[in-house]
Amino acid sequence: MYNPKSSFQPYHLIIVQDGDPSKIIKVPDGFDYELYNRNDINKILGPKANCISFKDSACRCFGYMVSKKKYIFTIDDDCFVAKDPTGKEINALEQHIKNLLSPSTPFFFNTLYDPYRDGTDFVRGYPFSLREGVPTAVSHGLWLNIPDYDAPTQLVKPLERNNRFVDAVMTIPKGTLFPMCGMNLAFNRELIGPAMYFGLMGDGQPIGRYDDMWAGWCTKVICDHLGLGVKTGLPYIWHSKASNPFVNLKKEYKGIYWQEELIPFFQSVTLPKDCTTVQKCYIELSKQVKAKLGKVDDYFNKLADAMVTWIDAWDELNSSGATAVPQGLCQVETFRLIEAQQVSDS
């Protein structure tokens, strides 16, 4: 989850180590970071740790839960700094923060894209009452080189590369779902954090590679309900390597089948008016998942339970607002982190 070639040194890193916790992650000097492996997750969450996936990139959402920062940027380990058409290196984090700090416009489409960007504005015919926009919760960045394709498309188009730099950021309109990729994603944790649960994927679960998609559908439905914005477009990162399409197909195939029922479900979800917080929305969504998707597969009953566990764990770790992680646990983690670094340096 860290990217030594990019300019992450000024930022606080949370590294969630996937898989075997006995393996040592080597982090170069000069980074301000916390590292969590499976043992740490089990220790911090106790029995609630079963909501965090194992041997799947979905484990990253544990980092969202323990973070004490307002803005989260999550990136895959095979993503590097991309260049714009002039050859200049793109500061992805800076663009994400710009996206998150300026409003979104989910209620009406602006044909010149992000109206808050320098050199552009709302076009003729855009209602003035909607020009203040709404707070932006999510900034979804894109990928040059290897596009984020599913296994069937990877198999059909193994050589396709994304070389097109589209110089735009836009709001995804209210009521429209999108495939949220976790490869290059930023969000305002205070606004939407508890909805960014990456589900039950990977080890012991019937599917993988739908972690970010699940989070995206839940997040979009909740953002629409709460009047928050979701942007997509810039920044680009350089996605260096394609994952194995045969392995991906095995992980995905149930998801590919199930999503045909999931999308109509999420398209028709309505949340009651008294769902005024992300947590309330998410618990309500978990009930609807159980009621309507449980019959698709028993997996969704388990997932609905895990959604509730996730919120319980989130609230437990974030009970006192900004100082989210209990101080004692935080110290334990600091110790573990130093120890890990010493071992990796030897």
Positions in the binding site for a second copy (CB under 8 A): 85, 108-113, 119-130, 140, 142, 147-150, 152-153, 157, 160-168, 172-181, 209-210, 212-213, 216, 232, 252, 256, 259-260, 263
CB of 116 to a second copy, least distance (A): 13
Looking at the Cβ atoms of 211 and 333, the one nearer to a second copy is 211
Looking at the Cβ atoms of 33 and 149, the one nearer to a second copy is 149
Report yes or no: 125 and 96 within 8 Å, Cβ to Cβ: no
Looking at the Cβ atoms of 123 and 343, the one nearer to a second copy is 123
C-alpha distances in angstroms, 34 versus 107, 215, 265? Answer: 39, 23, 37
CB of 17 to a second copy, least distance (A): 24
* Among 236, 111, 222, 139, CA closest to 177: 222
Looking at the Cβ atoms of 38 and 60, the one nearer to a second copy is 60
CB of 96 to a second copy, least distance (A): 15
Q: Within its chain, how far is the Cα of 16 from the centroid? A: 14
Say how far apart CA 317 and CA 308 lie, in whole Å.
14
- Token readout for 248 is 């991906």
CB of 265 to a second copy, least distance (A): 12
Looking at the Cβ atoms of 44 and 181, the one nearer to a second copy is 181
Looking at the Cβ atoms of 17 and 171, the one nearer to a second copy is 171
C-alpha distances in angstroms, 248 versus 155, 241, 243? Answer: 10, 14, 7
Say how far apart CA 180 and CA 325 lie, in whole Å.
27
- Token readout for 115 is 């109206």
C-alpha distances in angstroms, 292 versus 14, 264, 311? Answer: 35, 11, 20
CB of 2 to a second copy, least distance (A): 23
Contacts of 10 (CB under 8 A, 6+ apart): none
Contacts of 108 (CB under 8 A, 6+ apart): 126, 127, 130, 173
- Token readout for 184 is 């290059």
C-alpha distances in angstroms, 307 versus 52, 112, 221, 274? Answer: 10, 38, 15, 19
CB of 33 to a second copy, least distance (A): 29
Looking at the Cβ atoms of 46 and 179, the one nearer to a second copy is 179
Looking at the Cβ atoms of 90 and 340, the one nearer to a second copy is 90
β-pair partners for 80: 238
Looking at the Cβ atoms of 166 and 291, the one nearer to a second copy is 166
CB of 138 to a second copy, least distance (A): 12
CB of 193 to a second copy, least distance (A): 21
Tokens 């008016």, residue located: 273
CB of 40 to a second copy, least distance (A): 30
Tokens 């006192």, residue located: 320
Tokens 């149930």, residue located: 254
Say how far apart CA 283 and CA 247 lie, in whole Å.
33
